[in-house]
Amino acid sequence: MSWTIDFLPNEQILRVTTHGTMDLALIKQMAREALDAGLAHQALRYLVDHRDMIPALSSEDIFDLPKINADMGVGRTMRVAIVFSPDSPRAEDFFYYDVRNLSKGSSNIRQFSDLQQALDWLLT
């Protein structure tokens, strides 16, 4: 498996930590498992740590991700902080996804290159 999921009870945050290369099928599977775990913990805040993950997505895949997320149940009451490495060989994919989310009006999903900034945003 290319990810681990755990719950941070003091912060009420569901944390997903990914590793390796992930294509769209793996990202969807990871999201489904995270949403199921979030439901079990009644979590509305998610920290997705992609600093050790390299996306293997086409431009079309990234373009479709906001709709895919919505179809899977990522609602506007949830907050999702995604942390990525600015040194990632596919850093432009993270930027493209961020722009795509903003163009769809999704202010509840944000990307960060700093873990502490992501946590601070989730907790405010």
Walk along the chain (124 residues) and give the pLDDT tens digit of each residue: 699 999 999 999 999 999 999 999 999 999 999 999 999 999 999 999 999 999 999 999 999 999 999 999 999 999 999 999 999 999 999 999 999 999 988 889 999 999 999 999 999 9
Domain boundaries, position 71? 3-123
CA angle 82, 47, 56 (to 5 degrees): 45
Assign residue 13 the CATH number of its domain: 3.30.750.24
pTM: 0.94
Per the structure, how many domains does the chain have?
A: 1
